[in-house]
Structure 1
């Protein structure tokens, strides 16, 4: 089994995170973001690092409201897929959510089977928040929140992925 560790992301990891995301964005699996977006949200990210110090995976947890957060930008280097990197990153993000007091975590994904194996289910009810919270979230300028709310203005950016959720 290949050895790797999970740690909080640092500013010096942004280039590697973007390198992980780029081919997935080209394949329309993830949305590519500007470097500034990664720096602004760096405190949300964890990375997986191999024994040589190379970033081989990443993932972020974005808190949206009192009880709900989103797993974002979960990506693994192709050479490391199938070695538990994505699973361990996701488990770290879910632990972080619990520590922050979040009781629900959702994702927008094409990797339905991966998230099913990790305790998520396809959202039957697409409105995961009550109307009062929905109206508050409408004030957010975050594009991921707009995608979660399924707002028409982000439809061109939505990749046709599946909304999934897990509860603690």
Structure 2
């Protein structure tokens, strides 16, 4: 909790607000828009930044990919709240959750390289972060984020040209 906003788990009633936060970023090809059902299916992964008046001013999700690997996804803040610590608070909350779950590495796809560097992420040079056996298991996932992490050809048309980064916890 900060003096001006709080972080809490997402609720079903937040899905419309999450979509509203993502929409302008998706239009600018910074984030990928998802179908409404995808937000409901992954709702337990989301944290919400809430203003004192109850308005949703930010969101972010932690998606576990493997025993020791998770991804920070759909990190967004309302334009009027950018630069006021919303993204920072969300990332720190998601990293705390990753540690609590026993995750050793957290990955992200981002255009905000400097922001994630300030949180200890580094640009991934290659895929050596995943051993061949885990890679073969991850290939079985239907999740688009996993496919993007693995840099699979089938997601190339959807890739936004963002940077793959990782943090070791």
Q: Return the TM-score normalized by structure 2.
A: 0.97
User: Alignment RMSD, CA only?
Assistant: 1.0
1:154 and 1:105 map into 2 onto residues whose CA distance is 20
- Which residue of structure 1 aligns with residue 58 of structure 2? 57
SS in 1 for 2:48: strand
Alpha-carbon contact 1:2-1:83 (below 8 Å) kept: no
Aligned structure 1 segments of 4 or more residues deviating by more than 4 angstroms: none
SS in 1 for 2:91: helix
Q: Deviations over 1:72-123 (max 9, x none)?
A: 0000000000100000000000000000000000100000000011111111
- Which residue of structure 1 aligns with residue 81 of structure 2? 80
Q: Return the TM-score normalized by structure 1.
A: 0.98
- Which residue of structure 2 aligns with residue 32 of structure 1? 33
1:98 and 1:2 map into 2 onto residues whose CA distance is 25
Spell out the pairing of 1:121-132 with structure 2 (5 A cutoff): 121-132=122-133
Unaligned runs of 5+ in 1: none
Paired residue total = 168
- Which residue of structure 2 aligns with residue 156 of structure 1? 157
